[in-house]
Structure 1
Amino acid sequence: MLITFTWTAPTDMPAVDRVHLHVTGVHDHHDPDFHRMDRVGDRWESTVEVPEDLVASYRIMPVTGELAAQVDAEPDSRVRWMTVVGQTVPHVLDHPAWHPAAWSEGFGEASGRLVMSEAPEQAGWDSADSPGWEETPLDGRSLWTADLPDADYVLVLSDGRNWAAPSCPPRCVVFTLQDACPGPASSRWTLMQDAMSCSPAPRSTGNSSPTG
């Protein structure tokens, strides 16, 4: 489905050189030239094709000329991305798929969130269960772990500080009981910033294999 995003700069905002749009799952922030919106009169706009089953946040990020020069001169792609992300502004999209933004620790609040008409049900995340993580310092960062019974898998997710906020461990138990998780209980969950993999944990019996 095609969705058109439009944004108009507030009158009290410094002159904007360009405006980047990032839709998670659609745009690649590793691209050296982040997706740019087009200037049309006094506003900026961009039409993007998104999957019908997409559930994702999006960011509109206006950049001044001075900051644009700094971003263009920065060789480190992560520094460039974090600099642009810091310019994210709130946004309301006139579309039924639009939802308010969710907070992301370390990245700030997104502009908004898209939940498309064919998106799978996001069951379980309305629980009042406690998060259930144990935080441990590790080489200047933090490692969050959660041990659940009858572990068959180890799951390592990136951006651990973000994932440590929701009640993921008890939700995984619910999903497993609902047959929403592959294989038997994927029960030992480990989160660490800036790492991502999925592999089977050591175990003495059983022959299920992970999917990832």
Structure 2
Amino acid sequence: MDFPEKTQDYLKSIWDIVERTGSPAQLGVIAATVGQKTPTASEAIKRLAAKGLVEHEKYAGVVLTPEGNKVAVAMVRRHRLIEMFLVEIMGYGWDEVHDEADLLEHSVSDQFLHRVDQMLGFPTRDPHGDPIPNAQGVTEKLSTQELSEVALGERVVVEQIHDGDSDFLRYLADVGIVPGATIVVQNPPVAGMITVHVGEREVPLSIQSAADIRVVRR
């Protein structure tokens, strides 16, 4: 790609945030995602806007232009395919791959990425359940239903889990909450916590953590 790595990182982060929230990306969230201070991120967004890659209206958040979206989708595809490769071929845990993929996504060639896609059987989801854009940039729609919003006694299937916290991912793997797992909400919220059934197991989760788990009804 002809754009600097930091530009690619910003565009990918904005795309991820919008995908997850369904709303324009707020400046503070963008800054936290790319690991920079808000004033630094603000200047970067201004430069991206001047290049026609994003649009930023004050107090309304940041969205990608068609050109910015094209770059972002390509980077998202790279990142998520590499995560899948690291888990399925290299034996990494799903809690270990995010930072590795951040490094590798800028280095591999398009040919290498195509070979990875073929080797993996053209997957449509990464290890965390995030949709992988195909070679044409088409992406499956992600569920908007959060586990924190599921009614008592309702049976749901885990579709996607936000990969921002490695410790949380390890905990979820230990208790069997992974994409494809069936969950039943057992208790109503008490003191910011809920209890869910995963198979025969009762698992406590904070409401805040449950909001990072996307589910579909079954």
- TM-score of the pair, normalised by structure 1: 0.29
Q: Which has the higher strand share?
A: 1
Higher helix share: 2
Larger radius of gyration: 1
Q: Normalization by structure 2: what TM-score?
A: 0.29
